[in-house]
Structure 1
């Protein structure tokens, strides 16, 4: 009688599970049909209903690191995953828009280095690099506010000295000696070297010009490093960034062309756009429905026969039924708990075994305490706070006809010194623009960083356009420089899903902070991580780069694909012919 009662109860429970499964599947189907933008659970599609679904892996963020993780899973036959992207597009900080008859890159611009760079290998493999095209000669001029052009020999002299100063800063990371007392930042060290260099030169107009060039190059360095001032960048950690050999490569079709090869293998139905994540609950979520798809990623090894996750009696002493079968053996089913619950802003819920979080560092700084439940470990939140996440913006000026001398490719602006008082930024923000360079004969590109960039984002494009025209007329000493037909400014700080541009190691932070953010988190007795982290801010050598983001995404996905028991390791380099994939495979072991 007891067995019969248990059998009846189990059948009723199974029936309930099937009904919930059908309901969840129906919601999934309705969501896919209702999202014309390529999407999944229907987040952002205007629905007010709530759906609940289950998958093995959720990738939060559809930037390059998230796409690389999803591509790596798909390439190895793991299809039971979802990629959630808050924007209506994928790519994150890799994005292009049309401007006139051309396209301009609002985010990543160059492939930094050739040897060992997976982005270069990907571009070569997909015909995105024109190996026969010889680059145009790059002629740079530097001019003062009075329109006086600096002799090129003087510009070259100071540039070579500056590069030497910068390399000395990088050496502190690998050498045993310490910098001079009270010199903690790159800016302080370069200013000290500059002062010593200029002390040898008697007071003159040429000495003043040299000082202005050094200051211009420091402004340029803030755009490279992603900071407001080089006084923010830790001197001892500058060398932690690994520069790949081969220079900066520009793709003829633009950097955003690299997205298509990355996305190609990802099933479109696995990408859910316009789906901001509100909460990530990482820990066992009871009562989750068994995923119907076996992805090949091992189940969490934390179930036991006597746990409350087992919903039927499967003891060896159970009374046999007709035919010798044990009670309900053919209907045996276990409720497998989810380790993660993702709550989307529209109320949709996704249960998963693992989550790969690729939220940018700027978003983590602003929202980590609200997103993660329970809160992230203290060591991780402290590292998030210590690292720097600055703003670098672009200003595109589009003209209906060329006006700049065709032999000139870039104009450096040598601004006179002015107050560094933050209250002066509204009046002097434009003085942080260090150069205008040619994107084409009819498009100029200006760079601006830090607090001035953040202020610029608050201004109408017409105001920025007029100010840039005023600047060009002044430094080129040409009152007939035309107004641009259109001015496009990026706004990476204002964007809610980036909140800045890229990562730098601030004074007091270190490479260890990047490694601590990248550290995966486990729950219960799981052998594989519950939550993994990826993004350029999680790569300790290639932070601030697209290839760092890409490699971190692949590494996170690979951790979920590795067998739980030790097996023979075979390193494969099927996708590329270069060294980086082999090295990356080694680092995963």
Structure 2
């Protein structure tokens, strides 16, 4: 049944992209290079960037505060990094972020030796490497172990490790607290509530280009501004939150927005985040999605990772670049209303007067609803207690992100949970909707890349990939301009290697 009011007027474009995040702008950038002119980008909010959002401490845009994505994960053969180098993006004066621990204390002020937390970290890293090796072994030998969680496997192995190398009772307790801190840190890496949700057998499916992680020069919004500058500005339509995609019509795809606007097109590139799809897919698509697509949406998952920035006149009380605090808690059980802050796994100095801390999952969602002054007061009390310094001042300002509360995001990035298959379900997320033997609705975004999911790189590559598929459809339909463009280097030497062949 059509959701389009026959009395409504509609606007037509050959291709419509839903979303102006990295994937959407990357797709538009590629279509522009390929000579496409009839394009709209429907953006549900009033800004471009999606889950990239950079604020700046200075007018020259050299001191970024990343509210969303911040890292390029691996630099070798990373198309995002190569683009930044090729276009000579400016550098910035910020601190290079890492999850390395500097000072480590427990919440009562006990200093924990670097040897102890390095021992736990090294063992944890060895377990992570084992899971990557296991995944590659499964791929090479076409085998599959039973589905269980990272948390269960690691906890069992760590308890065996502690039984052999634990030391006295106090040391054993500290090691278990440090393990829990690493589990919490890993939820920040994965974008989940708990490592009990993350598949052990699929963990190694996530891959990154080789080389170190690096902050994007002058903030990731530099990438967004560049991509936007390469396309006609009248392509982007703001405040167009898509409510329905009618995709089984003989003539065109019909798109209805929350404000009542209706658009028609031949092809759609949908970059709606996985979490938004999970909330809305039943009403978003008419007719309903095929079973394989709904199963992929249901099986895969996406959680919330938020940041809290604390501003001070000066940071005399904070020594070094980072502080890790470990807490008294039983594994993943927390009284969220009273202990939400115990999910924070690291405090980092990002500027001389600014601290950044990370919080994930249900605790992050709860924190999004709290008053910022209350957040600052709670963390000040934590600092005073754990650093044994009652004179630590309250922050002059607190800025926090609210990615779950954002209706265009509903979270941060995707992961492969227990019971899901990266190869099957992520590929199914990426497969187009086909009507009358023609691909009509294409899907892009970090959640549609089988190896680089959760990253800007994955979003960038899939946006360009789907743009190429659309261009191939236009060629097959004898679009004269596209046929001419197909003979140029821009098309035949497409920059980024496709993950799979076109459907």
TM, length-normalised to structure 2: 0.89
Structure 1 residue 583: deviation in Å?
2.8
Once the two structures are TM-superposed, the CA of residue 253 in structure 1 deviates from its matched residue by 1.2
Against the structure 1 CA distance between its residues 481 and 587, is the aligned structure 2 distance closer, same or farther, given a 3 Å change threshold? farther
Task: Give matches, 1:191-202, under 5 Å.
Answer: 191-200=155-164, 201-202=166-167
Instruction: Say if 1:62 and 1:83, in contact at 8 Å, map to a contact too.
Output: yes
Selected match of 1:488 from 399, 402, 412: 399
Cα deviations across residues 151-174 of structure 1 (Å, max 9, x unaligned)?
112222221111001111222212
**CA contact under 8 A between 1:492 and 1:499: conserved in structure 2?**
yes
Unmatched 5+ residue regions in structure 2?
1-6
C-alpha deviation, 1:207, in angstroms: 2.4
Q: 1:584 aligns with which of 493, 498, 503?
A: 498
Q: Which residue of 2 aligns with 1:362?
A: 275
5+ residue gaps in structure 1?
A: 1-48, 286-336
1:307-322 aligned at under 5 Å gives the runs none
1:172 aligns with 2:145: no
**Candidates 517, 520, 523, aligned match of 2:432:** 520
The yes-or-no answer on 1:267 pairing with 2:232 is: yes
Separation in 2, partners of 1:150, 1:84: 51
Quick one: distance in 1 between partners of 2:15 and 2:496? 25
Aligned to 1:232: 197
- 3-state secondary structure, aligned to 2:359: strand
Matched, 1:116 2:26: no
CA contact (8 A) 1:571 1:582 kept: no
User: Structure 1 residue 128: deviation in Å?
Assistant: 2.6
1:412 equivalent to 2:324? Answer yes
Q: 1:277 to 1:153 in 2, by over 3 A?
A: same
Distance 1:136-1:365 versus aligned 2 partners, 3 A rule: closer
Rounded Cα–Cα distance in structure 2 between residues aligned with 1:502 and 1:411: 25
Q: Deviations over 1:562-583 (max 9, x none)?
A: 243999998958999xxx9353
Matches within 5 A, 1:74-113: 74-98=32-56, 102-113=63-74
- In the TM superposition, 1:469-480 aligns within 5 A as 469-480=380-391
The within-5 A match list for 1:235-246 is: 235-246=200-211
Is 1:457 equivalent to 2:457 in the alignment? no
* Equivalent in the alignment of 1:532: 442
Query: What corresponds to 2:176 in structure 1?
Result: 211
The answer on 1:188 being equivalent to 2:101 is no
Deviations, residues 335-386 of structure 1 (Å, cap 9, x unaligned): xx22x00112222211111111110001100001111111111111111011
Partner Cα separation in structure 2 for residue 394 and residue 548 of structure 1? 22
Displacement of 1:447: 0.6
Query: Which residue of the partner structure matches residue 414 of structure 2?
Result: 503
Decide whether the 8 Å contact of 2:147 with 2:199 is kept in 1.
Answer: no
Rounded Cα–Cα distance in structure 1 between residues aligned with 2:356 and 2:157: 31
1:184 Cα offset (Å): 0.8
Partner of 2:4: none
Contact in 2 for aligned 1:50/1:346 (Cα 8 Å): no
Once the two structures are TM-superposed, the CA of residue 244 in structure 1 deviates from its matched residue by 1.5
**Separation in 1, partners of 2:228, 2:304:** 27
Structure 2 residue matching 1:284: 3-state secondary structure: coil
Q: Is the 8 A contact 1:212 1:416 kept in 2?
A: yes
Instruction: Measure, in 2, the Cα distance between the counterparts of 1:198 and 1:263.
Output: 53
Distance 2:116 2:492 in 1: 47
- Given the superposition, is the C-alpha separation of residues 93 and 51 from structure 1 closer, same or farther in structure 2, using an over 3 Å criterion? same
Distance 1:497 1:582, change over 3 A: closer
Pairwise CA distance, 1:192:
1.1
Q: Which residue number in structure 1 is paired with residue 24 of structure 2? A: 66
Work out the CA distance in 2 between the residues paired with 1:173 and 1:341. Answer: 41
Q: Does 1:125 align with 2:36?
A: no
Question: How far apart, in 2, do the equivalents of 1:181 and 1:282 lie?
Answer: 38
Q: Deviations over 1:34-84 (max 9, x none)?
A: xxxxxxxxxxxxxxx964211111101111101111111011110101000
Cα separation, 1, equivalents of 2:142 and 2:16: 45
TM-score normalised by structure 1 residue count: 0.76
Is the Cα–Cα contact under 8 Å of residues 572 and 582 in structure 1 kept in the other structure?
no
Superposed counterparts of 1:13-32, under 5 Å: none
Report the Cα offset of residue 179 of structure 1. Answer: 12
Check conservation: 1:571, 1:585, Cα contact below 8 A.
no
- Residues 222-262 of structure 1 deviation map (CA, whole Å, 9 limit, x = unaligned): 01001111010011101111122111111341122111221
Query: SS in structure 2 opposite 1:158?
Result: helix
1:557 equivalent in alignment to 2:474:
no
In structure 2, the partner of 1:391 is: 304
1:151 aligns with 2:61: no
Q: Is the 8 A contact 1:59 1:355 kept in 2?
A: yes
Describe the shift of the 1:377–1:444 C-alpha distance in structure 2 as closer, same or farther (beyond 3 A).
Answer: same
**Are 2:212 and 1:247 equivalent residues in the alignment?**
yes
Between the aligned partners of 1:135 and 1:458, the Cα distance in structure 2 is 29
Q: CA RMSD in A?
A: 3.0
Matched, 1:439 2:403: no
1:47-58 map, 5 Å: 51-58=9-16
Are the aligned partners of 1:84 and 1:275 in contact in 2 as well (CA < 8 Å)?
Answer: yes
CA 130–230 in structure 1, closer or farther in 2 if over 3 Å, else same:
same
- Encode CA deviations 1:263-315: one digit per residue, 9 max, x unaligned: 12210011111111121100225xxxxxxxxxxxxxxxxxxxxxxxxxxxxxx
Show CA shifts across 1:205-227 (max 9, x none): 22222222111111100010011
Partner of 1:344: 257
CA apart distance, 1:103: 3.5
**2:75, 2:35 → 1: CA distance?**
30
